[in-house]
Copies of this chain bind each other. A is one copy, B any other.
Amino acid sequence: MPSGLQALLGLFLLFAAAKIGEELFERLRQPALIGQILGGFLIGPSVLHWLKPSPNLDFMAEIGVMFLLFQTGLDTQPEEILEHGLMSFLVAVLGVLTPLALGWWFALAVGENPVTARFVGTLLTATSIGITARVLADFHASRTAFGRVILGAAVLDDILGLLALSTLTSFAGARPSLINMLLTIVFVSVFFVLVLVLRRTAWPRMNRRMSGWRARSPVWSFSLVLLLGFSVMSAYIGLAAVIGAFLAGIFLSESNEIGPLRQQAHAVGSFAVPFFLANIGLKLNTADLFSGRAMFLIAMITLIAIVSKLAACGLAALKLGRKDALRVGLGMIPRGEVGIVVADQSLRIPAIPNQYYSIGIAMAVLTSIIGPLLLRLVMRPPAAAASPVSAAAKPLSSACEPPGG
Given known A19-B215, A59-B59, A236-B5, contact A12–B229 (CB-CB < 8 A): yes
Interface set, chain A 2-32, CB cutoff 8 A to B: 4-5, 7-9, 11-12, 15-16, 19, 22-23, 26-27, 32
Q: Which residues of B contact A264 (CB under 8 A)?
A: 263, 267, 270
Which candidate, A216-224, A281-289, A315-323, A384-392, is the interface stretch facing chain B?
Answer: A216-224
CB closest chain-B residue, reference A234:
B8
Q: Is the CB of B4 within 8 A of A235?
A: yes
Q: Which residues of B contact A265 (CB under 8 A)?
A: 267
Q: How far is A4 from B327 in the complex, measured between Cα atoms in Å?
A: 41
Given known A214-B26, A405-B216, contact A232–B5 (CB-CB < 8 A): yes
Residue interface mask A332-364, B partner, CB < 8 A = 1: 000000000000000010000000000000000
Does chain B have a CB within 8 A of A399?
no
**Minimum C-beta distance from A268 to chain B (A):** 5
Q: Is the CB of A32 within 8 A of B229?
A: no
Number of identical monomers bound together in the oligomeric complex? 2
Given known A16-B225, A19-B221, contact A216–B4 (CB-CB < 8 A): no
Q: Which residues of B contact A296 (CB under 8 A)?
A: none
Q: Which residues of B contact A11 (CB under 8 A)?
A: 228
Q: How far is A224 from B274 in the complex, measured between Cα atoms in Å?
A: 11
Q: Is the CB of A228 within 8 A of B16?
A: yes
Does chain B have a CB within 8 A of A231?
yes
Q: Is the CB of A235 within 8 A of B1?
A: yes
Q: What are 11 A-to-B residue pairs whose CB atoms are below 8 Å? A: A4-B235, A4-B241, A7-B59, A19-B215, A217-B270, A220-B267, A220-B270, A263-B267, A264-B267, A264-B270, A268-B268
